[in-house]
Amino acid sequence: MIVITHPTAVANEINTIHELLEHGLELLHIRKPEFSAIEMEKFVKAIGLEFLNKLVVHHHHHLAEDLGIIRLHLSEKERKEISTEKLYEYNERRIRLSTSTHSIEGFNHLRLFFQYAFLSPVFPSISKSNYQSETNLFEDIKNRSNFSTQLVALGGISSENIDKTIKAGFDDIALLGTIWNTENSIQNFKSCQQIALSY
C-alpha cells in the first residue's frame, strides 16, 4: 500500500509519516511541487535516512543519487518527454520507476521500465474538489493488456471502497485524501491496510 504526501504543508506531517511507517507503510511518495531542492532535502532528512528505501521522490530527481534514494516517480508529462537512453540509465543504476496514467490506454502503452503506475482518479477525489474520471475506470480496466507493470488505484480511495477496487483487478492502492484530509489519519490508514492485506 502506498501513501502520497499532501502537496502542501500539513500540521505534524513528519510525526504522522513516522507513525505511518511504524505501522507498516510500504512506500511513501513525496509529492511537494512547490518545494525547492533544499526544502526537499530537509524534508527527506527529517523523515530519516533509515527510511530511504521506502521513499519515492516526485521532484528534484537529482537528489536521489545524492541522498541514496532508489525510487523516482515520473509525471505523465515527464514520462512522455524522457528519452529511452535516460530510462536505460536509470535501469542500469537500479533506480525503480513509477509513473502516473489517467486512462487504461495510457497504462497499456507504458514501456517496460516502470515497476508500477497510478491510474486515477478511480473515484471522485477526496483532496481535489470536482476531480473525477471522464470514463468508468472499472469498465475500462477490463481492457487491460499490460501485466508487466503493477496497476495502482488512486483517487478517492478509502476503507469503504478498497474491496471493490482490488476485486476489479487493481494490484494495489494509493492513499492521499483519506490520510491528509481527515482527523483520523492513522486509524484510516490501519483500516485500509487491514483490508488490503486480506488479499
Return per-residue pLDDT of the chain as tens, 199 residues.
999 999 998 999 999 999 999 999 999 999 999 999 999 999 999 999 999 999 999 999 998 888 999 999 999 999 999 999 999 999 999 999 999 999 999 999 999 999 999 999 999 877 666 666 777 899 999 999 999 999 999 999 999 999 999 999 999 999 999 999 988 999 999 999 999 998 8
Give pTM, 2 decimals: 0.94
Q: What gap in Å lies between CA 170 and CA 81, rounded to an integer?
A: 27
Which grid cell sits at 138?
Answer: 472499472
Which grid cell sits at 142?
Answer: 477490463
Environment class of 175 (CB within 10 Å of its CB; exposed 0-12, middle 13-18, buried 19+): buried
CATH topology of domain 2-125+147-182: TIM Barrel (3.20.20)
Kind plus residue range of the DSSP H or E element containing 137: helix 137-140
Q: What gap in Å lies between CA 80 and CA 168, rounded to an integer?
A: 28
Q: What are phi and psi of 53, to 5 degrees?
A: -70, -10
